[in-house]
């Protein structure tokens, strides 16, 4: 089973614009990425479906992409709304997949 890992330094996230810049760059979201959390969820839901064209990062069906975030403690203090969005929306990505019989596709790893 092949897995992928995306690492992101949260020190570069200061607001919603930088949040979407960093995630779009790290995952290779398409040019039409809507820069909102609904679009973020849509892109990450398709991590095991490269034919959807929603990111340049992929994993095999049945495996996961690990999102490894560093400097999370400072990020949570500096940008609590964005920090909570990562957690809640990552959970939603997996929930919506499970609801239709697909396996989870996203795992989170936090480093202080």
Quick one: CA dihedral 89, 111, 69, 47, positive or negative?
negative
Please tell me the total count of domains within the chain: 1
Parent domain of 85: 4-111
Measure the CA–CA gap between 90 and 105, rounded to whole angstroms.
9
Note the Cα 46 to chain centre separation in Å.
11
For residue 57, how many C-alpha atoms fall within 13 Å in the half-sphere facing its CB?
22
Residue range 14-47, pLDDT digits in tens: 999 999 999 999 999 999 999 999 999 999 999 9
* pLDDT tens readout for residues 72-97: 999 999 999 999 999 999 999 999 99
What CATH number is attached to the domain comprising 96?
Answer: 3.30.370.10
Query: 3-state SS string over 3-20?
Result: CEEEEEEHHHCCCHHHHH
pTM score, two decimals?
0.94
């Amino acid at each position: 089973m092949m897995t992928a890992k995306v690492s992101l330094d949260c020190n570069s996230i200061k607001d919603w614009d930088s949040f979407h810049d960093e995630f779009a760059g790290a995952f290779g979201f398409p040019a039409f990425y809507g820069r909102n959390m609904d679009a973020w969820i849509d892109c990450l839901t398709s991590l095991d479906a490269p034919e959807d064209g929603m990111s340049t990062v992929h994993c095999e069906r049945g495996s996961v992409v690990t999102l490894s975030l560093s400097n999370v403690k400072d990020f949570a203090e500096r940008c609590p709304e964005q920090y909570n969005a990562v957690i809640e929306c990552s959970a939603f990505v997996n929930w919506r997949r499970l609801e239709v019989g697909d396996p989870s596709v996203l795992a989170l790893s936090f480093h202080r």
